Structure 1
Amino acid sequence: MKDQVLLERRGSALWIIVNRPDRRNALNETVAQRIVEGLDMAEADRDVRAVVLTGAGDKAFCAGGDLQPAADGTPFTIDAADPKHYVARLLRRMDACRLPIVARVNGHALAGGFGLVCACDLVVAREDALLGVSEVKVGLFPMMILPYLLRTLTYRRLMELCVTGEPITAGEARGELTVNYAVPTNELDAKLDWLLARITDKSPTGIRLGKQALSKIREMSTDSALEYAQFMLANMARTEDAREGFAAFAEKRSANWTAR
């Protein structure tokens, strides 16, 4: 049986590839768990500076939960004995990841697949890829991913997508800043490499601590956020990377990051 998710180290990035092209890379419990394992692996390796999340093939990034009858690991049920839904566990783990997660949207990202895109930090997409939430068409609403849609979309765009079930293209989403870059298919990997190069040559310590802080600040009041921010800034200034960064700036040279 083939791996449903491939984990591949490519340069300074760990690629997490949902490998179910015959099911449009649909999400199930095994896929979710393997993505979590990939994030754990990436954070455990000091030489990994970013994570790329993508799908196999050129049809779909991820089509959300598998709607096929008796689908393996369907996300549409809850075990009363264990109500901790695996999609919630995955999204929480993505939130907690201290490495930048870049979505490489190689094809359509719908329903839960669009939720995964919204849970990533940066997005490079094919301009013709469809993005949307189609749950209303089967009598549902995109409950599990609503917090991430709210972070990424304007309220009116979110409501239109949710109540009509009609998708938009990544090209349209770029104009609304829902994705960072929307490019022709043959330019997708070049743009991704361009973006990764500009992430992976920066301080890994600064990025890791910054992502950790952002995750907490997002949930705080302004006063609490300011108090926490000054504490984090003082701690960050004492890291080896920060001292090296200041020295490199003063000496007009490239920094030699140690990830400490």
Structure 2
Amino acid sequence: MNKNISSSLLLRQDMDGVVVLQLNRPQQFNALSDALLDALQRELAAISMDAQARCVVLSGAGKAFCAGHDLREMRGRPQFVYYQELFAKCGRVMQAIQALPIPVIARVHGVATAAGCQLVASCDLAIAAQSARFAVSGINVGLFCSTPAVALSRNVSSKRAFDMLVTGRFIDAATAADWGLVNEAVPDDKLDEAVTRKTAEILIKSPAAIRLGKAMFYKQKQMALADAYAYAGEVMANNMMEQDACEGIDAFMEKRPPRWKS
């Protein structure tokens, strides 16, 4: 089933299990305005209930992936309560990405700065054009990127993350790949091809196994080692009771492609 759903701030296209969400504020380099965060939250909630969705690709319109929060909008509302609500809202969106039961891939071009870099770090996978650049540059305007630091420090080492946070310096896509912020840095003209290849790799796997596995992956990271193994063992036992696991093992032994039930 193919369908297209558009709003002024966020574009959605569904095609054969892949949901493409495109941030659509190109003149503002896709800065995360209050309204855009609301649109993302709504769409992620809708996708979480969509049984046809198997994978999400998050991209940006125009010349950039995302330039972070909308600083002009923020300066226009100099109220502590507003800032509390804004950063809490942004945090909920980032957590909704990881709570989504299907993989989310960031397709990164241009710049991903501050909360835009946070967005990349919050996605399960990220593929970047070689010309893409990354920074948590709030420090340059007197604002330490505290909320982006949460996601960034869960992707790259503490010293590398802190260096980026206190200097505001940009790193290129090759460095981002080397540090673990993105999975791949590819030639600019191969970006869409690389994203399509990754979604194809996901679509041929068992939907039930991926849904179970993604939830397990993030939950076990917060646990002590013994607790993580106990929890993962329970999840794997449940996974073995799924029809897909039985079919997959039978197909492997019979040397044929699996026919997923879920």
Number of the residue aligned with 1:47: 52
Number of the residue aligned with 1:62: 66
| Closer/same/farther in 2, CA of residues 35 and 70 from structure 1, 3 Å limit | closer
Q: How does 1:1-260 map to 2 (within 5 A)?
A: 3-57=8-62, 59-68=63-72, 78-79=81-82, 85-259=88-262
| Closer/same/farther in 2, CA of residues 206 and 179 from structure 1, 3 Å limit | same
Q: What is the deviation of 1:237?
A: 0.6
Q: Which amino acid aligns with 1:14?
A: V
Greater alpha carbon shift after TM alignment, 28-37 vs 75-84:
75-84
| Closer/same/farther in 2, CA of residues 80 and 124 from structure 1, 3 Å limit | closer
Q: TM-score, normalised by structure 1?
A: 0.92
Q: Distance in 2 between matches of 1:77 and 1:37?
A: 25
1:85-139 deviation per Cα after TM superposition (whole angstroms, max 9, x unaligned):
1111111211211100000002210000000000001111111111010110111
Q: Which amino acid aligns with 1:166?
A: R
Q: Is the Cα contact below 8 Å between 1:99 and 1:208 reproduced in 2? A: yes
Q: Distance in 1 between matches of 2:25 and 2:71?
A: 14
Q: Which amino acid aligns with 2:27?
A: D
Q: TM-score, normalised by structure 2?
A: 0.91
Q: Is the Cα contact below 8 Å between 1:132 and 1:165 reproduced in 2? A: yes
User: Which structure has the highest helix share of the two?
Assistant: 2
Q: Distance in 1 between matches of 2:127 and 2:104?
A: 11
Q: What is the deviation of 1:174?
A: 1.7
Q: What is the deviation of 1:84?
A: 7.6
| Closer/same/farther in 2, CA of residues 199 and 139 from structure 1, 3 Å limit | same
Q: Which amino acid aligns with 2:35?
A: T
Q: Percent identity?
A: 35
Q: Which amino acid aligns with 1:195?
A: K
